[in-house]
Structure formats: C-alpha cells, structure tokens
Amino acid sequence: MAVIAVDAGTTMIKAVGYDEEGTELVVVRQATSVNRPHPGWAEQDMLAVWDAVVFSVRSVQRQLRSDIDFLAITAQGDGCWLVDQSGEPTGPAILWNDGRAAAIVEDWSRQGVLQQAFQINGSQIFPGLPNAILTWLKHNDPERLDSSHASLTCGGWLFARMTGELAIDESDGAAPFMDIRTRRYSPELLKLYDMEWARPFLPELRGDDRRVAALTRAAALEMGLPAGLPIVMSSYDIASTAIGVGAVTPGQACSILGTTLCTEIVADTVTTEGKSAGLTVALGLPGKYLNAFPTLAGGEVIQWACQLLDLGNPTELAELAEASQPGANGLAFIPYLSPAGERAPFLDAQARGAFLGLSFDHGREHIARAVLEGLTLVIRDCLSTSGVTPTELRVCGGGAANPIWLQLIADVTGVPVLRSTDTEVGAKGAFLVGLVATGGAARIEDVSSWYVRIRDTFTPDSGRAGVYAELYEDFLALRSTVSETWPRLAAMRQRTPETAGTNPLPIIIPGHVPERSADLTAPGTTPGQIRRLEGTTP
C-alpha cells in the first residue's frame, strides 16, 4: 500500500508519499508565488498552482515503489477561485489574505450585519472571504462575474481539476454562507449580505460521506497516475492539520506556525454567543468542529524580521533572540504587519504593527526577542479568547522546526508544547481522512494515536510564568493604545499610495525530507528564483 497526500499551502505545495503505517517515505515541496498587483491585494495564478501540484505529485510517484491506493487533497482555505462552466479559471485566484474588500466588510460591521451573521455561521467575517470578494467584483469587475460559473476554494479547484466535479468540503464552505448547525447554505445569510444573486456561484457542499471521486483520464495523463484512482477531498488545511497533529477530541488544541498563526481548539458543540471572534468550521470528523483563530500575520513576520536584521534564516533569528532576557529590555512589538490588517482574535482591516519603547539602549538581539515574543503573545491571546484552557498545545508548520521558539511558546502560554515526528502535518491529516473515506479505518479517533507519533515535548518554565503574565497584560494595554492611531495611519496611506510588487519564495528542490526542511518561514529571495512549471515534467 502507498498513498499520496497533497497539502497546497499559500506559498508552498507539499506532496507526501506514505506507506501503510503512515510513515513519510517521500516529501516534495514546490514553491508558488503570491502576486500583489496593488496595495492590499493578494492573488495567485490558478494554473501555476495546478502545475506545481502536478510536478510535486509526479515527483513523489516516481520515487514510490508500490501502487497508489488513493490520493488525498487538503489546501489553503477561503478566498475566491472562480471558474467557468468548463472548470477553467476566469482570472487569478483572490486569496484569503487579500484586503481589497475591507471597506465592504467595515460597512457590514457598522450595520450590525457581521454580528447577526455570527449567530448563524459561527465565524467572524473578514475581507478575504468569498462574500466580500464577490461583492467587490460585482461593483468593480462585473465582467469577471459574468464569465464565471462557480466560486471554489483552492482545495475545490484541485479536486475539480482532478475529477471534473465542482464541489467543496463542508469545512471549506463553512464561512461565510453556511448555517454551521445544519451544515447547509443559509438563505438567511445570503439575504443578510444582500447576495441572493450569488447563490448560483456556490458549489455543492460535501460532507464526511461524499469525499471520494475518480481521477479523470486527462488529469491522470498529466499526473502520471492511473485513471479512476480514488481522489479524496479532505477538510481544508487548518482542519486537516489539527487531525494530522492528533488533535481529534474536544478540548485538544494545536497551533499552526506557518504563513498564518492559527490556534485552534476541537469542540463537539457550536457556540455563537457573545462577541464574534475566529472561525467555526467542520473538522472533517463526524460531529466535530474546530474553533480556529487564524491570524493574517504569522510566518511572513519572521521573514520580514530576518530581512530587516540581515539574518540568513529563522534559526538565526531565534538564536539572536536568546541573547536578550525576557521582555527585550522594555521593547514591545505589535505584530500586525499584514496589509489586510488582522482577523483573529479580533477583526480590524486598519490594524498595523509597531515597535514601542525603542531607544539607543536596544540592539539587534532585543528586536529579535521582541518580534518572537509579540507573535507568541498573539498565540496566548487566541487561546484566551477561545475560553478553553488546554492541557497541551500541539504545534506544526514551518515554525515548529525551531525548538527555541517552541520553548518560548510553552513559557508564554504556560502549556506543554508537543511536536510530532511528521514534517508535513496537513498532509498527514489528509492521509487519515482518506483512510477512513476509502474504508481503511472506521474512525480517525481510533487510529490517531497509532499514526500520529510525538517527537518531543517542551515543558513551561515555571520561573518565567509571572514575567510572561505581566508581559501579556502589557501587550493588551499597548495594543489598545496603539489601535487609536490606526485610522489616522490609514488616512496617511491613502495620501501616499505605493505600488506593491510580488512576494516570491524560492523553489525547494524535491526529494527526501532533510532534518530541518519543514522550516517554511525561511526568507524569500529574488523573483528570478521562481519559475513557472508550464510544460515541465519531473
């Protein structure tokens, strides 16, 4: 038995080959680029993403010695991946971290629409969701809508490309149009957003019992796989990652240390009371949900800091940070660097980052320490907002390759941090979902402990608990103060617009997994290191 699982992230496509015991045999990574043609925009060439998936899958298949039992897909969520009736793209994908529709979301917020929607949907709406993007297109690019037939997500796009079927998983479809309790599209939500006109664009929702379709002959020829191979649509990446790291029972928590910092807690009930915050999505296990807090600024902040300090990689950043004591000599960092603002655990398209307390007394080590502490305090903030106090925090993503950061997370949150042996946890979750969907296991909960193996645990330093409790209170107070400047800063940006370029990342040569190759937060380099895969085969 052999299985291929694909995890299509925002800046990196990962394809993993597994044996029957769920051991990673082959890992191939292929970089993709995010295009930013205007300030606040984030787009991807849909066919370039497909090319990267084809290249990665063919590279894995070539190195496996067994027949492939099935291929499972998980991918970045949200955004708007529009296709025509034949399934071809009608333009670039507009991504989850795109901010062009911020004014639309702000208007919905002022009208009280977002709070009403949260009672039905359980998710905080932000500009990178399809309701906001489709509304923006209606007003600014109606020709694109006229040529489009369906609004997919990245996972739905790849599934359609492989099987010819236009559909998305319930986790992908959860926000913004689903009634989270019935797991069906809500006419009330469409009416609330004044978007009844958009109902024809919404693809079929598929749950846990309808994840499998056959690989078409055309896709099989491209991918080097047999036609008719079972293709499994797993839950989208944050949900598949929770499964892949072993967070499958209520109360368990995990944090994805990747492009987004996504802290998430497994639940068996839906709660929509109180102030709206985060996302509630179907986990990909019957009767289970995920309360997720995906930030807009995560690994890219570490990239930015490495470039700022002229460091070669995130490990050097963490080692430099260790030269400073906790608290960075009174230097605080507010880490909201995304041009689209922030979406978790609060929503503010105008949110921006800041160093506070900077003086001649600070050196490079204090800046490095403040950056890592600022990001880590966001993780604590998300856990606090969830209202759940987990007994452990399982971590994954590129940042999980950095033991210094993992110890800092344990110290700041006061919770033991666990890291698994897998380098690609999202793909492992897709593997487990596929195993159940194709009849290889009855329930993931029954086999999770067998397939998910813990590599090491980072225990909180009790002597630093008081220090970080105070720093957390300082962080909240400083953020509250700084937030008063965000509207004025937004007005300043309107007066001095700049044209944004692209945000390319280097290609990583496919092959077996090196010891630290999961460090996906490594700094980007020049555009010349990115190449399109058109017409290439491994």
At 205, which CATH number?
Answer: 3.30.420.40
Assigned domain for 429 exists: no
> What does the pLDDT read at residue 526?
29
* Alpha-carbon distances, residue 314 vs 161, 297, 302, 368, 516 (angstroms): 35, 16, 7, 10, 11
Alpha carbon distance 371, 408 (integer Å): 12
Alpha carbon distance 322, 326 (integer Å): 9
Judge if 195 and 318 occupy the same domain.
no
Judge if 30 and 129 occupy the same domain.
yes
Instruction: Please check whether residue 178 is in contact with residue 31, taking contact to mean a CB–CB distance below 8 angstroms.
Output: no
**CA dihedral of residues 357, 298, 284, 152 (deg, nearest 10):** 130
How many domains, in total, are found in the chain? 2
> What does the pLDDT read at residue 258?
87
> What does the pLDDT read at residue 333?
98
Judge if 151 and 15 occupy the same domain.
yes
Alpha carbon distance 87, 76 (integer Å): 19
Assigned domain for 368 exists: yes
The residue from 214, 233, 252 where one domain ends is 233
For 79, counting Cβ atoms within 10 Å of its Cβ (0-12 exposed, 13-18 middle, 19+ buried), the class is: buried
Runs of H (alpha helix) within 347-424: 364-386, 403-413
Assigned domain for 196 exists: yes
> What does the pLDDT read at residue 505?
35
Q: Residue 450: name the closest of 423, 426, 430, 420 by CA.
A: 420
> What does the pLDDT read at residue 498?
61
Peptide bond into 230 cis (omega under 30): no
Domain ranges, residue 197: 1-233
Residue ranges in the chain modelled with pLDDT below 50: 499-538
Q: What is the pLDDT of residues 484-528, one digit of tens each?
A: 999 999 999 988 766 444 443 333 323 333 333 333 333 333 233
Judge if 81 and 188 occupy the same domain.
yes
Residue at token pair 């469409």: 190
Assigned domain for 317 exists: yes
Beta strands in 58-154 (DSSP E): 68-75, 81-83, 93-94, 150-152
Judge if 300 and 216 occupy the same domain.
no
Query: Which structure tokens are listed for 383?
Result: 């856990």
48: three-class secondary structure by DSSP:
helix
Query: Which structure tokens are listed for 198?
Result: 């958009």
Assigned domain for 268 exists: no
Judge if 201 and 325 occupy the same domain.
no
> What does the pLDDT read at residue 274?
65
> What does the pLDDT read at residue 527?
30
Instruction: Please check whether residue 293 is in contact with residue 345, taking contact to mean a CB–CB distance below 8 angstroms.
Output: yes
Print burial letters for 196-214: b (CB count within 10 Å at least 16), e (below 16).
eebeebbbebbebeebbbb
Assigned domain for 514 exists: no
The residue from 191, 217, 233 where one domain ends is 233
Assigned domain for 506 exists: no
